[in-house]
């Protein structure tokens, strides 16, 4: 099914009363309906979810505003890709290409190609030394935190397109865009969302249950 776009959806500009701002936007009736007509969240659960969403918005806005973070993230992704390409050359034993690259690396850096590849992987794996997190980490963290809150309500959660969890996360995304799931220009994104949930929650539901 093609997603319906809500014309009132917009980014939040959170100030000191961030939690109150988020709470005025959330439609709890629609969110609770995802778990059944008679289901109601406790006051504590409402507050915990609202608080995590406010924190998430703040983190996303901070990430967007910090150009250094974006540049470093892009550099890390490039390093990760290059390291993977070199490893593929080594695994496939492409002697001609491998020899050509190894000679240049040795001449310019004084290192063997495996050591150079190791350095690239270290760069790619470095996190938070520059005070930032990767965009994907933000979405993974908020999804896991909300699931942890839901489990306190002793809700039975599962992962498929028609599951109450997927419906709940999708409704949250409609009410607060780009907070639960990253922005997507695709017309049909339900399958993409459930893949994201499965990727981020693989083993997580079982461990917490």
**What pLDDT is stored for residue 8 in this prediction?**
41
The pLDDT mean for the chain works out to 79
**What pLDDT is stored for residue 11 in this prediction?**
46
Within the chain, where are the H helices? 18-25, 28-33, 43-65, 67-92, 95-109, 113-125, 135-152, 164-175, 190-201, 204-208
Which string of DSSP letters, residue by residue, matches 8-60?
T-------TTHHHHHHHH--HHHHHHTT-TT----HHHHHHHHHHHHHHHHHH
Distant-in-sequence, close-in-space partners of 46: CB < 8 Å, separation ≥ 6: 23, 28
Distance between CA atoms of residues 96 and 128, nearest Å: 38
Mean pLDDT check: name the lowest of 1-15, 65-79, 96-110, 160-174: 1-15
The whole-number average pLDDT for the span 30-46 is 93
**What pLDDT is stored for residue 48 in this prediction?**
93
The whole-number average pLDDT for the span 193-197 is 79
How does residue 188 score in pLDDT terms, banded at 50, 70 and 90?
Answer: low
How does pLDDT run across 134-168, given as a tens digit for each residue?
677 888 889 999 999 998 888 888 878 888 998 99
**What pLDDT is stored for residue 75 in this prediction?**
81
Indicate if the pLDDT at residue 28 is higher than 50.
yes
Indicate if the pLDDT at residue 88 is higher than 80.
yes
Q: 14 versus 139: which is more confidently predicted?
A: 139
- Sketch the domain layout of the chain as residue ranges: 18-65+134-208, 67-125
Q: 130 versus 39: which is more confidently predicted?
A: 39
Question: Which stretch, 59-73, 96-110, 128-142, has highest mean pLDDT?
Answer: 96-110
How many other C-beta atoms lie within 10 A of the C-beta of residue 123?
Answer: 16
């Amino acid at each position: 099914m093609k997603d319906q776009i809500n014309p009132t959806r917009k980014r939040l500009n959170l100030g000191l009363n961030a939690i109150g701002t988020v709470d005025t936007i959330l439609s709890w009736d629609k969110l609770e309906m995802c778990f059944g007509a008679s289901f109601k969240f406790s006051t504590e659960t409402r507050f915990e979810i609202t608080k995590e969403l406010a924190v998430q918005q703040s983190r996303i806005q901070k990430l967007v505003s910090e150009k250094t973070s974006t540049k470093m993230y892009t550099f890390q992704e490039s390093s990760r890709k290059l390291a993977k390409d070199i490893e593929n050359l080594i695994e496939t034993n492409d002697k001609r290409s491998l020899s050509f690259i190894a000679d240049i690396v040795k001449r310019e850096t004084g290192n063997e190609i495996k050591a150079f590849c190791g350095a690239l992987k270290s760069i790619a794996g470095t996190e938070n030394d520059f005070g930032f997190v990767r965009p994907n980490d933000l979405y993974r963290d908020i999804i896991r935190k909300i699931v942890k809150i839901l489990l306190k309500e002793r809700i039975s959660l599962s992962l498929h397109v028609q599951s109450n969890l997927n419906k709940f996360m999708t409704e949250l995304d409609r009410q607060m865009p780009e907070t639960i799931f990253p922005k997507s220009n695709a017309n049909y994104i339900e399958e993409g969302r459930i893949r994201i949930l499965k990727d981020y929650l693989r083993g997580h539901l079982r461990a917490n249950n």
